[in-house]
């Protein structure tokens, strides 16, 4: 045993003795107080103290010394508890910071690249997709069911273009700035309420469509993600629920109601 370990062992024995002595003192004083009502018990408090200390192997420690040991141990326990609370708070702060950094660190190019990893994903024979299955199990689904009616299970085989966009937002840590919804109209209105709505195409923008050329938000029937825009204004997109799968498309500006703008890293 090293010298350091020997010292630690001795200290541990002494502190353990202090706890035992304190425990014995508490029990013995309680018994003595009760027994004082009976004339047979004639021990003084000094004798009780000495007896308790002897049992603890600390016969040389005074009552004052024992109290001092207990106070130190109590202080140590409080300090340990405080440190633990501070550590927990620090860990939570670190996690929150990491999440904010993840959001701040996503570029439009990275967001589109994540969407493209799903190219070719399609509905199964029953019309269900991984995106609808994911969305139906989210907290957001509970909120949109409360808003729109229906049930979580209805999302499993519902139109899923907006659930695809929401899924990409989840995977990239961008749900707070991209938004999450299953209804294109509500999603577009959310962007407008946030002050992030417009008619200029940008890479990474969430693009909302009406095939008849109507421009009212309530007329929106489809949504996708802008990949890039050609010099002549041709808009390239990544969309879910197009031909029952995730596909790259080329869209005419006349079919576009407007754009929602996520907050990407430059």
For 175, what's the count of Cα atoms within 13 Å in the CB-facing half-sphere? 14
Q: Is the Cβ–Cβ distance between 137 and 178 less than 8 Å? A: no
Q: What is the mean pLDDT of residues 5-23?
A: 39
The token duo for 123 is 């509905």
Q: Which residue has the tokens 């140590």?
A: 76
pLDDT of residue 266: 84
Q: What is the pTM of this model?
A: 0.63
Q: What is the mean pLDDT of residues 174-190?
A: 97
Q: Is the Cβ–Cβ distance between 202 and 259 less than 8 Å? A: yes
pLDDT in tens, 204-217: 999 999 999 999 99
Summary mean pLDDT of the chain = 76
- Greater pLDDT, 154 or 45: 154
CATH number for the segment(s) 108-260:
3.90.1720
pLDDT of residue 75: 53
Instruction: Give the C-alpha separation, 83 to 88, whole Å.
Output: 9
pLDDT of residue 126: 94
- Domain ranges in the chain? 3-102, 108-260
Tell me which of 71-80, 115-124, 126-135, 191-200 is least confident: 71-80
pLDDT in tens, 161-176: 999 999 999 999 999 9
CB under 8 Å to 217, separation ≥6 — which residues? 185, 188, 189, 192, 208, 257, 258
pLDDT of residue 219: 98
* Dihedral angle computed from the Cα positions of residues 136, 138, 144 and 145, in that order, rounded to the nearest 10 degrees: 50
Residue 242 burial by CB count (10 A; 0-12/13-18/19+): exposed, middle or buried?
A: middle
- Greater pLDDT, 21 or 159: 159
pLDDT exceeds 90 at position 183:
yes
Share of the chain above pLDDT 70, in %: 61
CB under 8 Å to 109, separation ≥6 — which residues? 203, 204
pLDDT of residue 103: 45
Q: What is the mean pLDDT of residues 180-186?
A: 98
pLDDT of residue 9: 39
Instruction: Give the C-alpha separation, 49 to 16, whole Å.
Output: 17
Q: DSSP string covering 118-180, please?
A: TTT-B--TTS--HHHHHHHTSHHHHHHHHHH-S-GGGGGGS--HHHHHHHHHHHTT-HHHH--
Q: What is the mean pLDDT of residues 127-147?
A: 98
Instruction: Give the C-alpha separation, 249 to 226, whole Å.
Output: 10
pLDDT in tens, 21-72: 344 334 443 444 444 444 444 444 444 444 444 444 444 444 444 444 454 4
CB under 8 Å to 59, separation ≥6 — which residues? 50, 53
Q: Across 2-6, 17-21, 240-244, which has the greatest mean pLDDT?
A: 240-244
């Amino acid at each position: 045993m090293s010298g350091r370990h020997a010292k630690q062992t001795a200290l541990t024995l002494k502190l353990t003795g202090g706890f035992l002595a304190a425990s014995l003192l508490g029990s013995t004083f309680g018994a003595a107080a009760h027994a004082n009502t009976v004339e047979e018990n004639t021990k003084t408090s000094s004798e009780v103290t000495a007896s308790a200390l002897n049992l603890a192997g600390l016969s040389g420690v005074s009552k004052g010394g024992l109290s001092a040991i207990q106070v130190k141990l109590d202080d140590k326990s409080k300090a340990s508890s405080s440190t633990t609370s501070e550590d927990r708070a620090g860990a939570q702060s670190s996690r929150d910071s990491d999440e904010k950094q993840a959001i701040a660190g996503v570029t439009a190019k990275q967001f589109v690249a994540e969407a493209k990893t799903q190219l070719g994903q399609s509905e199964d024979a029953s019309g269900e997709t991984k995106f609808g299955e994911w969305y139906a199990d989210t907290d957001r689904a509970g909120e949109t069911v409360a808003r729109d009616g229906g049930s979580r299970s209805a999302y499993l085989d519902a139109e899923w273009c907006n659930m695809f966009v929401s899924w990409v937002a989840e995977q990239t840590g961008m749900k707070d700035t991209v938004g999450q919804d299953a209804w294109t109209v509500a999603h577009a209105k959310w962007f407008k309420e946030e002050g992030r709505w417009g008619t200029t195409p940008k890479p990474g923008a969430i693009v909302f469509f009406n095939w008849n050329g109507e421009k009212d938000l309530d007329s929106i029937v489809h949504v996708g993600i802008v990949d890039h825009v050609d010099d002549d204004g041709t808009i390239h997109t990544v969309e879910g629920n197009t031909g029952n799968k995730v596909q790259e498309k080329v869209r005419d500006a006349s079919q576009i109601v407007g754009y929602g703008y996520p907050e990407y890293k430059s």
